[in-house]
Amino acid sequence: MTELKDTTRERPGPLRDITVVDLTHWAAGPIASMVLGDLGADILKIEPPAGEPQRGMGVTFPGGWSTFFLACQRNKRFVSIDYRNPRGRELIKKLASTADVVMENARPGTWERHGLDYESLRALNPRLIYASITGFGQTGPMRDWLAMDPIAQAAGGVVGITGTPEGGPAKVGAAITDVVSGRLAAFGVVTALYDRMRTGVGQRVDASLFSTAVGLLTMRETEFQFTQQNPPLLGTAHGQIVPAEAFTTRDDRRVMLCIYSDWHWARFAELAGAPQLAADDRFTTNSARCEHRVATIAAVQDVIRTRTEVEWTELLAGEIPYGPVLEFDQLWRHSQLDANELIARYEMPGVGEVRSIGSPVRFSGFTQPVRRVPAATGADTVEVLREHGLSDDEIDELIAAGVVHTAPAHTAASA
């Protein structure tokens, strides 16, 4: 792969002229706006006076910083407006009237009650892209159900195909529907912005945790269509490829094999010094190995037990589909992360260096640096309201009335 070292990558991100009014909270929404912020958009994160709930999630660092918040809130400006106050709602409308995008992830109907729904804001700004992330979508019998990642994984079929026969169904360890929904919503926003270049008008973008979970079942659904059989619980194994699961090494580490072709099977037998695997008719084709799954797995496990994880990695990596099962501390120290620019680093006062997951996608034309670190609730309220034409006297009056809030000891006069 060509190294991405072109100096043109230092130019600003492609969304540098895009303004996003971000009404989201918790996980999927903040991830979506962070993706757009990484691409250069100006994210105006609107929070209630007490801050959004994510500020209290996860492990808390000195100074009260939440690990969840630090992971999902870079490259944003922090504006605190009480949307329950009629004057606060009018301020949000003012911001939305000149914005390119509004993002929200409340239950369907929430923003309609406050006059901040798509139809209300589109009347003020026909070019507006309005992106919603819900639990189950805007329509259907589950529309009003409350959902978070574990619920979406369960109702969306992911839990039902994950786990072992002995232990039963299991949730995927990562919050996949939150993270993927956020990135899909960001993709939807960028697509709608591109479409706006052609049409001159905005539109609504609708994503949901449930839709994301179902979307992850793409190949499984087609299989079920023809078999009408529920996929079995196979743990780390694969239904149509054998061997494709985790095996235990001599030093009790776990390594994953996925030998999908007969050529790779013969190559594995050769590299492992196990000619009996290639000679046994039960194992020579994938269809035969699937038919004799138990015998195949037992034979492979016997071979894998003869070497350590390091020895297998040196022997098999790059030769067949193989990888060690890395625990989190091993992954976090792995050089492959930096080689692919997967770590976003920044300094936080009172915390020190923060390392969070950066963009999984790299570009040859630009980088995605941390331009702004997470900040206190309302840290940028004054700056943003000034930019939208409010005078210092007007801002101070709004602060005094409790309509907007700033970081402690932060007023328009002192800003």
CA–CA dist 170, 363 (Å, integer): 36
Catalytic residue among 82, 117, 149, 178: 178
Q: Measured between alpha carbons, how far is residue 57 from residues 64, 66, 209, 232, 415 in Å?
A: 10, 6, 19, 35, 30
Q: Which two tokens stand for residue 357?
A: 């997951």
CA–CA dist 113, 123 (Å, integer): 16
Pairing relation of β-strands 42-47 and 77-81? parallel
- Number of helical H runs and strand E runs in the chain: 18, 14
252 part of the active site: no
CA–CA dist 143, 157 (Å, integer): 17
Can you spell out the DSSP letters for 47-61?
A: E-TT--GGGGSS-B-
CA–CA dist 250, 326 (Å, integer): 16
Interhelix angle 309-316/262-272, rounded to 10 degrees, is 130
The answer to whether the beta carbons of residues 79 and 384 sit under 8 Å apart is yes
Phi-psi region of 408 (alpha: psi -120 to 50; beta: other; left: phi over 0): beta
Whether omega for the bond prior to residue 243 falls within 30 degrees of 0, making it cis, is: yes
CA–CA dist 93, 125 (Å, integer): 10
The answer to whether the beta carbons of residues 320 and 313 sit under 8 Å apart is no
Contacts of 247 (CB under 8 A, 6+ apart): 254, 255, 256, 257, 300, 301, 304
Long-range interactions of 293-297: CB distance < 8 A, separation 24+: 293/242, 296/242, 296/243, 297/237, 297/242, 297/243, 297/245
Q: Which residues are catalytic?
A: 178
